[in-house]
Structure 1
Amino acid sequence: LLLLFVTWLLLRMRRLKLTLEEREGQLVVAREKAEESDMLKSAFLANMSHEIRTPLNAIVGFSSLMQSEELSQEERAEYCAIVVSNSEMLLTLLNDILDISSLECGKIRFNYASEDIVQICQHVMMTTAHTRQRGVEGRFACPVGSFMLTTDAHRLSQILINLLTNAGKFTSEGSITLGVEIDEERGEVLFSVADTGPGIPPDKQDLVFNRFEKLDGNKKKGTGLGLAICRQIAMIVGGRIWVDSAYTGGARFVFAHPIGIDPGGENREGGGFLPSEQRKSLFVNDAGQLVPEGK
């Protein structure tokens, strides 16, 4: 009997030791995550202060210069254009910050309906025409004249506009092509934006989707949030977005949007979508699930 008791005691002590080691490991992981979160917060605030200060300094500086009575009409118009440009940059930055914060916190509405994606793409091409540099051709390649897809038209347009605007910054000659491919077998529509710019190095292709990531430092205008927002939206609709490493003519981004009903969509982390012929308002709840309004 004593031997059994001692054996039981030793086994219990061993289990307690293993449990203690496991808890210690969990505490180490939690501490590392907390430290990483603190570092990300500090980096976010540092980037934010720089990104906001830059256009604000221009707005304040040139607004002060415009008060001078010695300015010519040409100078005044030039300074006014600079103020307007930086005001738009600041507004874009604030909108992007609000968008990515809402997406990551799961507090954003998605309005799904059956939409003609060809019309959406054509509208996006017209909307972004001014972002292309002089001499760069805008092309739209689609095998069909019309295709209905259950999607959030605003969020789909947001992804395409971000990709086309980004391509416009880096493409000084050649063309920018918005392509659509319908893959019935995989049950998805592939939207692609290909340019004839300098391209993206293979070791940087995953980094471009990080917040505030700029491959050229601060040489190009932008917040560094556009591609991060695209990735968040793609995840919520149950799709994917990536850089096509096989494309060598410049840079090519591909966004895969699911077609039709996804049986596991409602339970997928980050969302999914519910099919409906009529528009209904959906939102992401605290559990990261996409549900009808009022649920």
Structure 2
Amino acid sequence: MTQAFPQHFLIIDDDEVDRIALKRRLRAMAPKAAITEAASPLDGLKELENPSIECVMIDYDMPFCNGVSLVNSIRHTPATRHLPVIMITGTDEVAVAVEAIQQGADEFLSKADVNETTLGWAIHSALNRSELRREAASREAALRSFAFHAAHDLKSPLNGIVGLANVLQHTMDSLPAEARPFLAKIEEQGRHMASLIDNLLAFADTEQSPAEFEPVDLTAAAQQAASLLDADIREAGAHVTISDLPKTRGHAAQLERVFTNLIQNAIKYRTDAAPQIAISAEALGDQVRVDVRDNGIGVPDHLRERIFNPLDRGDADDDAGHGLGLSIVKRIIETHGGRIWCQPAPEGGSVFSFTLILLREA
């Protein structure tokens, strides 16, 4: 599989000397190629709006943001998801290379090893991986279409079963009393299965088909999520505080879903005290970290990673939930070029933190 050598490169690196050195190498290999430079991840994202970019080279270590977050954003933006991306770093640590490749980089080079031979190999390899990714995406799109149609076909008879069980419970006076709990269970399990189908589709769709990113007011997204959960909040006697949050680029409905799921979790996993939920943010260079803090039962140390795994409900022994809520949240955040983690709150409870690209006002 061979593709034409790229004729427009984008270099994203905060070190001007390193950009000049890489630019010189590329000029020697492709004298007529256009080379665009960006000194920060945010500037890089702006340059990526240019559809003529054919290959991206990203520094791993930049202030307040490593290149992996930027790779995530590139991979999950429709216009750039198939671009060849090469991570070039000042280290040759295997762990860094593995992280870069796992998160979407096509190739990895240490700055100390960059020469025309290694760079040429990395570019051609990245081009081949990009083509394979395009082919895989086409097959995945066909599979997703099948899954959505299959889900619709599954839910139609399921909704009929749930509806008939409900009718039987309320219209058959002669139904033996001992039979009524079984009908209630049929209805409950049917609704549970329908919800599971919806959540499985949502889990798949968050990564595979993100909409074109637009400016998103995170304060408005959090407020809308709280408004949608107003009945649950009032029933639990919860109090939700939302500080002024900045803007980011993304999918408003998906980010609203992040806040919805995190608020729901804080209400569900509460102590006897009324839930206190505080949403705040802190700017970190080109990124923003959003914290959703609660006073609930907390998350044990051994579960803080597991809770983000699909269908893993940790040590929960109740019937509510499918173990997909936090998995969906994690996938949404990653499609927006960020990451999410959980840590204990100093006063008890949990803090769910996630990062996003900060959209600064012009």
TM-score range, shorter chain: 0.5 to 0.7
Change (3 A) 1:111 1:91: farther
Query: Number of matched residues?
Result: 199
Match of 1:217 among 305, 316, 324: 316
Deviation at 1:200, TM superposition (A): 0.9
Match of 2:201 among 85, 91, 98: 98
Q: Which residue of 1 aligns with 2:265?
A: 166
Q: Distance in 2 between matches of 1:159 and 1:56?
A: 31
Deviation at 1:207, TM superposition (A): 0.7
Q: Which residue of 2 aligns with 1:179?
A: 279
Give SS of 2:282's match: strand
Asked if 1 retains the 8 angstrom alpha-carbon contact of 2:219 and 2:242, the reply is no
TM-score (norm 1): 0.57
Q: Distance in 2 between matches of 1:258 and 1:225?
A: 25
The amino acid of 2:292's aligned partner reads V
Match of 1:65 among 147, 154, 169: 169
Name stretches of at least 5 consecutive residues in structure 2 with no aligned partner.
1-154
Q: Distance in 1 between matches of 2:302 and 2:319?
A: 20
Match of 2:349 among 245, 250, 261: 250
Q: Which residue of 2 aligns with 1:130?
A: 231
Give SS of 1:160's match: helix
Q: Which residue of 1 aligns with 2:300?
A: 201
Give CA deviations for 1:50-103 in whole Å, capped at 9, x if unaligned: xx9x999876655433331358xxxx9xx99x95x7665444322210122234
What percent of counterpart residues are identical? 20
Q: Distance in 2 between matches of 1:58 and 1:98?
A: 20
The amino acid of 1:152's aligned partner reads H
Asked if 2 retains the 8 angstrom alpha-carbon contact of 1:99 and 1:229, the reply is yes
Q: Distance in 1 between matches of 2:226 and 2:274?
A: 16
Deviation at 1:188, TM superposition (A): 2.0
Name stretches of at least 5 consecutive residues in structure 1 with no aligned partner.
1-51, 262-276, 278-295
Change (3 A) 1:90 1:111: farther
Q: Which residue of 2 aligns with 1:228?
A: 327
Deviation at 1:204, TM superposition (A): 1.0
Residue 336 of structure 2 is aligned to residue 237 of structure 1: yes
Change (3 A) 1:198 1:148: closer
Change (3 A) 1:215 1:260: same
Asked if 2 retains the 8 angstrom alpha-carbon contact of 1:200 and 1:251, the reply is yes
Change (3 A) 1:137 1:102: closer
TM-score (norm 2): 0.47
Give CA deviations for 1:228-265 in whole Å, capped at 9, x if unaligned: 1111111111101100245451122112112149xxxx
Change (3 A) 1:200 1:90: same
Give SS of 1:168's match: helix
The amino acid of 1:132's aligned partner reads I
Asked if 2 retains the 8 angstrom alpha-carbon contact of 1:115 and 1:150, the reply is yes
Residue 221 of structure 2 is aligned to residue 120 of structure 1: yes
Give SS of 2:320's match: coil
Change (3 A) 1:204 1:57: farther
Q: Which residue of 2 aligns with 1:155?
A: 254
Give SS of 2:311's match: coil
Change (3 A) 1:150 1:59: same
Give CA deviations for 1:87-136 in whole Å, capped at 9, x if unaligned: 65444322210122234xx5213232112221221111111222337453
